[in-house]
Amino acid sequence: QLQLQESGSGLVKPSETLSLTCAVSGDFIGNNDYGWGWIRQPPGKGLECIGIAHYGRATYYAPSLRSRVTISVDTSKNQFSLKLTSVTAADTAMYYCARHKSQVDWFDPWGQGTLVSVSS
Amino acid sequence: QSVLTQPPSMSAAPGQKVTISCSGGKFDIGKKYVSWYQQVPGTVPKLLIYENDKRPSGIPDRFSGSKSGTSATLDITGLQPGDEADYYCGTWDTSLSIAVFGGGTKLTVL
């Protein structure tokens, strides 16, 4: 059974870098039929796709975040990572990782999510 | 502001039917498949409908989806108290080259 589990710092200072990792079990992250995505949800608000990475292929980022975000895939550890630089309070959110089905564009399954707060 | 437009809230009584709409444009819903997610408060979003009208294993047939042109709908029949949740539509935006979601619809079962 495929499972995803986020880990990383839950508290980040303004202007610093948010770093999260999503460990994948039950599937090989190098499977070319799927991408690996990060989605966030600010408190009380809706879902926003941050980006989707594919092993050996293109990585797609939300235009509003492209200048600050990097998503990378590590097949040796079967995990993928998110780095978001120069964070502000507006980046406070629940961050989810999820598997993305390429071409038909659905996300399943999702990780449990990790709350990241940006505060000094 | 979301690329896809959903009504912020809807309500209906147990046993009734509700239809949640998701409106997009020619570069997103008009070109790509639509998926729907259910998020019960305090829980992880769950895939409810994929590729416009398909249900993952374990999703009851009370939930159905459809797409026409640049809009999609999620129908829920025989409403139950446990259906009270936020519902999000999603697709791919070919102009932005990223997955996008609707703003979400909060469904209240009266």
> Which residue, among B92, B93, B96, B105, would best test binding to A if mutated, counting the most A CBs under 10 Å from its CB?
B92
Cα three-residue angle A44-B98-B52, rounded to 5 degrees = 80
Written as six digits, the tokens of B48 are 């409810």
Provide CB contacts within 8 A for B71, sequence distance 6+. B21, B22, B23, B24, B29
Give the pLDDT confidence score for residue A17 in this predicted structure: 98
By CA distance, what is A58's nearest residue in B?
A: B97
Q: What is the pLDDT of residues B72-107, one digit of tens each?
A: 999 999 999 999 999 999 999 999 999 999 999 999
Q: What is the pLDDT of residues A102-111, one digit of tens each?
A: 999 999 999 9
Phi, psi of B34, rounded to the nearest 5 degrees? -115, 140
Which amino acid, one-letter code, is at A18? Answer: L
Q: What is the pLDDT of residues B11-68, one digit of tens each?
A: 999 999 999 999 999 999 999 999 999 999 999 999 999 999 999 999 999 999 999 9
Give the pLDDT confidence score for residue A56 in this predicted structure: 86
Please determine, for residue B2, whether its predicted confidence score (pLDDT) is greater than 90: no
pLDDT confidence of B71, banded at 50, 70, 90? very high
Does the CB of A71 have a partner CB in chain B at under 8 Å? no
Dist. CA B63–CA A82, nearest whole Å: 34
The answer to whether the Cβ–Cβ distance between B51 and A61 falls below 8 Å is: no
Q: Which chain A residues in 29-58 lie under 8 Å from chain B, judged by CB atoms?
A: 37, 46-49, 51-52
> Residue A46: which of B50, B91, B101 has the nearest Cβ?
B101
- Mean pLDDT in residue range A28-33: 88
Which amino acid, one-letter code, is at B56? Answer: P
The answer to whether the Cβ–Cβ distance between A106 and B90 falls below 8 Å is: yes
The answer to whether the Cβ–Cβ distance between B44 and A112 falls below 8 Å is: yes
The answer to whether the Cβ–Cβ distance between A96 and B33 falls below 8 Å is: no
The answer to whether the Cβ–Cβ distance between B44 and A110 falls below 8 Å is: yes
The answer to whether the Cβ–Cβ distance between A96 and B45 falls below 8 Å is: yes
Cα three-residue angle B50-B54-B59, rounded to 5 degrees = 90
Dist. CA B107–CA B92, nearest whole Å: 24
Dist. CA A27–CA A3, nearest whole Å: 8
Taking contacts as CB-CB distances below 8 angstroms, the residues of chain B near A113 are: 44
A56: left (phi over 0), alpha (psi -120 to 50) or beta: left
